[in-house]
Structure 1
Amino acid sequence: MEVYKLTIKAGKTLSERKWKAAFSPEGYLDIGKTLSRIHRGGIHPSIRGEVWEFLLGCYDPRSTIEERDEIRERRREQYAKWKEVCQNLFPLVGSGRFITAPVITEDGQPIHDPLVLLETHPDNGVIVPTPETANAKPSCTGERVTDKRIIQWMLTLHQIGLDVLRTDRTLVFYEKKENLAKLWDILAVYAWIDTDVGYCQGMSDLCSPMIMLLSDEADAFWCFERLMRRLVNSIIKFVLDNV
């Protein structure tokens, strides 16, 4: 297997000025010139988010400014709808808090007294499940959940929370509870819509750079979704090529 070494050269960084100059008046991107610049010197921090939206395939370089604005708005609306569905299923989604202990059993029974509790402080954005939050489900009645898809999703929520706490824990960015909650929300929504992949350990590390680079949660979600799509396709191709 041939390994390519990326050599970053001083003064060759893709700057904000060079990035803007790579677009035509209509908004078409000269992706070849851009990739060459990135290969030689990397990307300036101020534009990394929007550059990665193109690199991950969120936008076609041949699209216009107007087309991208329409796509962005449509995707933000779609994410909001998915998140609302998740909020109805489990109200802590979008609340600025998250869980780190299970709230449901594998057969759909609510857990009123979780055995594994994380000691919390009011300012750290994490909650210990209580009878009220442990019962959160579509009917909000505390009754047993019978929908297998909902059970599977709810079983992943505390696993996501545990990984969120371990993700890039030394970064100042995650000293803010809203950033931890944003990471949890994105992963929770993704686990709901992608029933094939759901959630597995390590996905929080892949998602983390997205929310640091993009201020809008929906935009970060779609970058993460495109990254996961590429990874899944690569795995499928690898398996098929080696059957």
Structure 2
Amino acid sequence: MWRDPGAPADSFYQVRPECTDVPKTRFKIKAGKTLSVRKWQAAFTPEGYLDIGKTLSRIHRGGIHPSIRGEVWEFLLGCYDPKSTFDEREQIRQRRRMQYARWKEECRQLFPVVGSGRFITAPVISDDGQPIQDPLVLLEANPDKGQALPPVDNGGTNVRGSGMETVKDKKAIQWMLTLHQIGLDVVRTDRTLVFYEKQENLSKLWDILAVYAWIDTDVGYCQGL
């Protein structure tokens, strides 16, 4: 019996031309089996309720089309209730964006590189809260104006001659100790993809991981997030 071999999904993820040894994905887009854009849109009622049963069945048989993978996973991860409406989800989405903006601003007050369009890959603080005076660190943290300074209200005292602050808050110290490790992992993220060639995309990923590490101290940051 003839079977559809499926179309490769590699074309949906643009690879840098110099990367010629990138392994091909084993996932195939199969007509009638893979959850397509049309099937996904048809799974919603006019109000926005999702038929999660049929959706899961389709995913089990043929996976998810790459073009809708992000929005489908919002339901699979429990971000939205399948019984919610379009309007309810939009309200939730806006509230979450506002909350993220507040969290990011809180982190920016602690370390101004957050939200600046840049990120760091070198340690900026020692275990006891002392700023690291390595020239590379200073340049990386703020290439235009010198080191990005933690604010005075974090319980710190000025380090004479450095213009930086000694951080005394234990939570802030632990968080700042992870920031360079996040940066090191960010620059290693799917380096073959064109998307991650852009500094702005790398910095957005760094911001998200840095903010999460600040608000969820039980998990903090670990590779694989």
TM-score range, shorter chain: 0.7 to 0.9
Superposed counterparts of 1:65-80, under 5 Å:
65-80=86-101
- Alignment partner of 1:39 is 2:56: no
C-alpha separation in 1, matches of 2:151 and 2:221? 21
Assess, with a 3 A threshold, how the Cα gap between structure 1 residues 13 and 110 changes in structure 2: closer, same or farther.
Answer: same
Shift of 1:137: 1.0
Q: CA RMSD in A?
A: 2.3
TM-score, length of structure 2 as denominator length: 0.77
Pick closer, same or farther for the CA change 1:130–1:29 going to 2, 3 Å: closer
Match of 1:173 in 2: 195
Is the CA contact (8 Å cut-off) linking 1:111 and 1:134 kept in structure 2? no
Match of 1:17 among 38, 53, 56: 38
Residue 133 of structure 1: how far off its partner (Å): 5.2
**Residue 208 of structure 2 corresponds to residue 186 of structure 1:** yes
Distance in 2 (CA, whole Å) between partners of 1:47 and 1:201 is: 25
Partner of 2:167: 145
Distance 1:48 1:135, change over 3 A: closer
Cross-structure match for 2:23: none
Paired with 1:129 and 1:94, the residues of 2 have a C-alpha distance of 12
Q: Is the 1:13–1:44 contact (alpha carbons within 8 Å) kept by the matching residues of 2?
A: yes
Code of the residue aligned with 1:24 in structure 2: it is T
| Change in 2 beyond 3 A, CA 1:166/1:149 | same
- In the TM superposition, 1:1-243 aligns within 5 A as 10-11=30-31, 12-113=33-134, 117=136, 128-129=140-141, 134=147, 136-139=149-152, 142-203=164-225
- Larger CA Rg, structure 1 vs 2: 2
Q: Structure 1 residues 10, 83: closer, same or farther in 2, change over 3 A?
A: same
Once the 2 structures are TM-superposed, how far is the Cα of residue 16 of structure 1 from its aligned partner?
1.1
| 1:235 paired residue number | none
In structure 2, the residue matched to 1:231 is none
- Contact 1:8 1:39 survives alignment (8 Å): no
Q: Distance in 2 between matches of 1:13 and 1:130?
A: 46
Matched residues, number: 188
The Cα offsets for residues 6-44 of structure 1, whole Å up to 9 and x where unpaired, read as x96821111111111101111110000001111111111
User: Relative to structure 1, is the Cα distance of residues 9 and 89 closer, same or farther in structure 2, using a 3 angstrom cutoff?
Assistant: closer
The answer to whether the Cα contact below 8 Å between 1:112 and 1:134 also exists between their aligned partners in 2 is no
Mark the runs of 5 or more structure 2 residues left unpaired by the alignment. Answer: 1-26, 159-163
Gaps of 5+ in 1: 1-6, 119-126, 204-243
Query: Could you tell me how far 1:134 is from its partner in structure 2?
Result: 4.2
- Give the percent of matched residue pairs that are identical in Structure 1 and Structure 2: 75
The answer as to whether partners of 2:48 and 2:85 remain within 8 angstroms in 1 is yes
Q: 1:59 to 1:130 in 2, by over 3 A?
A: closer
Deviation at 1:196, TM superposition (A): 0.9
SS at match of 1:99: coil
Contact 1:91 1:136 in 2 (8 A): yes
What is the CA deviation profile of residues 92-133 of structure 1, one whole-angstrom value per residue up to 9, with x for unaligned ones?
A: 11111111111111111111116xx59xxxxxxxx6246965
Give the secondary-structure state (helix, strand or coil) at the position aligned to 2:38. helix
The whole-number CA distance in structure 1 between the counterparts of 2:168 and 2:94 is 35
